[in-house]
């Protein structure tokens, strides 16, 4: 016999494009989702999805079936909600990936007010891109765009990678070299200075060095610390250099505890994007997070 739960499962897979995400939405196991989907395909006699690597792409028959059932299923779900109004509804849980500093300065203070659960992932960009594609994450902030057809990237803001130094750093000779555009001399002078970098991400330093000196960094950092915020605290009213996204240092530069030493020429910039799946069961929650991040940007 036809089981109406098969249609609910089919709808969830169609809208999320991922078996594990559909399972989370339905509060059932992933094998259970596969059983429902296989049973429905056996009943209809047609393949409803093409199984691409970690993605479910609807076939023509799948699209036709979805268009036929979406309105009745929505009405049934509305009736179910009406007649179970007093039942306990679990909060949805979203996975979000971003840089630690972005989280600290824009989202951390608002966690207690969110009407849903949140699991944060701090990692390298290629890793959180992969986890978005596989359904482990629902929203990421990234300067890198993937090529996956089921994902979309919405431009969010721009960051410039700049050279900063502690306010007690003597930059008189450096300023003269920059004014004269003596690139080899600038590079040599910088190599002789005290340097701070982060352990997890040296990509900013590599890009800045390559853009301005046409080579990879050939200096040895003196201090490797966990986060950019650690670098700012170490440099505050002290000596040394670091390459850092400009928005992170705006407050310290305004307070003159660190100095903007050089923006570089040419400028090195990233466009940050909201990365998300084109079809998500959590579109309202994702939109709320995007609004918080946008309104609290530096």
Q: Can you give the pLDDT at residue 227?
A: 86
- Among the residues of 94-248, which ranges form H helices? 100-102, 125-133, 172-180, 183-191, 203-213, 228-235
Q: Can you give the pLDDT at residue 87?
A: 47
- 199 and 140 together in one domain: no
CATH, residue 147: 3.40.190.10
Q: Does residue 196 lie within any of the structural domains?
A: yes
241 membership: H or E segment, kind and range: strand 241-245
Residue 30's domain spans which residues?
4-83
> What dihedral angle (degrees, nearest 10) is formed by the CA atoms of 144, 280, 18, 60?
-110
Task: Give burial (CB, 10 Å; 0-12/13-18/19+) of 8.
Answer: buried
pTM over 0.75: no
CB neighbour list of residue 144: distance below 8 Å, 6 or more residues apart: 125, 126, 129
| Tally of domains within the chain | 3
Instruction: Output DSSP code: residue 263.
Output: -
- 133 and 276 together in one domain: yes
- 136 and 223 together in one domain: no
- Residue at a domain's end among 54, 83, 112: 83
Q: Does residue 164 lie within any of the structural domains?
A: yes
- 136 and 69 together in one domain: no
- 102 and 142 together in one domain: yes
Q: Does residue 204 lie within any of the structural domains?
A: yes
In the numeric block, the tokens 């309202």 are attached to: 284
- 104 and 238 together in one domain: no
Q: Can you give the pLDDT at residue 83?
A: 67
What six digits make up the tokens of 15?
């809208």
- Residue at a domain's end among 83, 112, 145: 83
Residue 110 CB coordination number (10 Å): 14
How far apart are alpha carbons 66 and 48 in whole angstroms?
10
In the numeric block, the tokens 């023509």 are attached to: 60
Q: Does residue 143 lie within any of the structural domains?
A: yes
> Block means of pLDDT (10 residues each) for the chain, length 298 residues?
87 90 84 90 91 87 91 83 58 88 87 90 83 88 84 90 95 96 95 88 87 91 89 93 92 93 94 90 91 84
Instruction: Output DSSP code: residue 124.
Output: -
- 205 and 259 together in one domain: yes
The percent helix, strand, coil of the chain (3-state, each to 5) is 50, 20, 30
- 147 and 289 together in one domain: yes
- Residue at a domain's end among 83, 117, 144: 83
Task: Give burial (CB, 10 Å; 0-12/13-18/19+) of 10.
Answer: buried
CATH, residue 10: 1.10.10.10
How far apart are alpha carbons 244 and 154 in whole angstroms?
23
Q: Does residue 53 lie within any of the structural domains?
A: yes
Please, are residues 273 and 142 in contact by the beta-carbon 8 Å criterion? yes
- 77 and 102 together in one domain: no
- Among the residues of 134-202, which ranges form H helices? 172-180, 183-191
Instruction: Write down how long the chain is.
Output: 298
Q: Does residue 88 lie within any of the structural domains?
A: no
- 24 and 149 together in one domain: no
- 225 and 291 together in one domain: no
- 36 and 175 together in one domain: no
Q: Can you give the pLDDT at residue 161?
A: 94
């Amino acid at each position: 016999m036809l089981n109406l739960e098969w249609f609910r499962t089919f709808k969830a897979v169609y809208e999320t494009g991922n078996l594990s995400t559909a399972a989370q939405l339905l509060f059932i196991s992933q094998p259970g989702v596969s059983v429902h989907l296989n049973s429905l395909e056996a009943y209809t006699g047609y393949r409803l999805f093409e199984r691409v690597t970690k993605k479910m792409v609807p076939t023509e028959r799948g699209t036709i079936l979805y268009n036929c059932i979406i309105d009745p299923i929505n009405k049934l779900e509305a009736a179910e909600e009406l007649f179970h109004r007093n039942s306990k509804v679990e909060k949805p849980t979203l996975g979000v990936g971003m840089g630690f500093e972005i989280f600290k300065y824009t989202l951390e203070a608002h966690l207690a007010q969110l009407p849903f659960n949140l699991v944060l992932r701090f990692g390298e960009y290629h890793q959180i891109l992969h986890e978005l594609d596989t359904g482990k994450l629902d929203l990421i902030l990234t300067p890198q765009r993937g090529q996956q057809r089921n994902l979309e990237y919405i431009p969010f803001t721009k960051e410039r990678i700049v050279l900063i130094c502690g306010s007690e750093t003597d930059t008189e000779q450096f300023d003269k070299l920059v004014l004269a555009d003596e690139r080899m001399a600038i590079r040599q002078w910088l190599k002789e200075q005290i340097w701070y970098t982060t352990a997890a991400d040296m990509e900013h330093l590599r890009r800045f060095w390559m853009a301005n000196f046409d080579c990879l960094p050939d200096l040895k950092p003196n201090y490797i610390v966990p986060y950019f915020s650690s670098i700012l605290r170490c440099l505050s009213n002290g000596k040394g250099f670091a390459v850092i996204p400009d928005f992170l240092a705006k407050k310290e530069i305004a307070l003159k505890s660190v100095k903007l030493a050089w923006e570089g020429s040419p400028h090195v910039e990233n466009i940050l994007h909201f990365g998300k799946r084109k079809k998500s069961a959590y579109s309202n929650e994702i939109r709320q997070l995007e609004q918080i991040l946008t309104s609290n940007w530096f």
